[in-house]
Amino acid sequence: MMGIEIKERLKALDLNKLITVVIPTLNEEQGVAEVIKELHSLGITNILVVDGYSKDRTVDVAKGLGARVIYQHGKGKTGALKTAVEHVNTPYMLVMDGDYTYDASSIERFLQHMDNYDEIIGARIPVEDGSMSRLHKFGNAVITKVFNLLMNTNLSDVCSGMYMLKTETMREIDLNTSGFDVEVEIAAQIASIGSITEVPINYRARVGRQKLSTWRHGFRIISSIFNLAKLHNPGAFYSLLVSLLLIPAGIMLFNSFMEMVYTGKFSSNWFLVGVALLLVAIQGMSVGVLSLVVKRSQMRLMRMMRRQLGRVYT
């Protein structure tokens, strides 16, 4: 009954003229079939499968079910998304993995907020046993906390593979990653130039072989977040690094104070070093804030210029 209600509401919105569902694939013949069938059951037919040259029957299965299929250029999922945006003609694009982990009926939750945000991330809620291991949950939580700290966001699942983007905004993004860290790169860039939020979505056990290695890809994603923070949010990044000087500065000043209280002696050397570290930390944080303002002004200016150029050529 719930599925019928969702289907009717989605049909009323004429969704296929608003959104292109983009499915990046690589050897997902089992999962992609279920994803496309589920989308069709909701009346969604504007489906673009971007294949990374699968060696199984992924392309044949997708075409047989009526999806539009193209081959990507470039490496990894980043190449797939760069290719996709060149072929999307709707105002919005919704990206979802082809492994059947994401519940298509959750799309309705994105629609309620799509006019107000450049990106809406689907925060995963496991609904089946084995859909997400404890290690995976822990790693995802660590990655998201690091991202929030360095990018001044308040997200709960930055690595989710289901998210909606304004197509115009996606065209303004310059992607440079190549692997599973593309989601954090998109979120990092949009957080610095636009608006981003999230909605809860259902998450199931995948169909087919898992490609993600929790440890290897987890460390790579965290490394990417630090690099992205340096590029897109330098103020917060360098302020955080410099603020670490406050710890030894505080220890030195506190020890000097306690020594004077209990012994009556004043250790001027440690006191001066502590003051110097304190001044460097304060100065560094000031420079970080200034660089943040300059960087965001630059990003907004570039965004305006791209929009103007787009209008000229159209």
Q: Pick 2-232's CATH classification: 3.40.50.10490, 3.90.1300.10, 3.30.360.10, 3.90.550.10.
A: 3.90.550.10
Q: What is the mean pLDDT of each run of 10 residues along the chain (314 residues)?
A: 60 81 95 96 94 96 97 94 96 96 93 93 88 85 90 92 95 84 93 91 84 65 82 70 71 77 72 77 68 63 62 53
Sorted by where each begins, the domain ranges of the chain are 2-232, 235-313
Among 93, 87, 61, residue whose Cα is nearest residue 73: 87
Q: What is the pLDDT of residue 18?
A: 92
Q: What is the pLDDT of residue 248?
A: 77
Q: What is the pLDDT of residue 303?
A: 61
pTM here?
A: 0.77
Q: What is the pLDDT of residue 1?
A: 44
Q: Are 253 and 274 in contact (CB under 8 A)?
A: yes
Q: How far apart are CA 266 and CA 158, in angstroms?
A: 50
DSSP letter assigned to residue 197: E
Q: How far apart are CA 25 and CA 77, in angstroms?
A: 8
How much helix, strand and coil, in percent to the nearest 5, is found in the chain? 55, 15, 30
**Per-residue tokens: 62:** 């997708």
Given the structure tokens 């897109």, which residue do they identify? 232
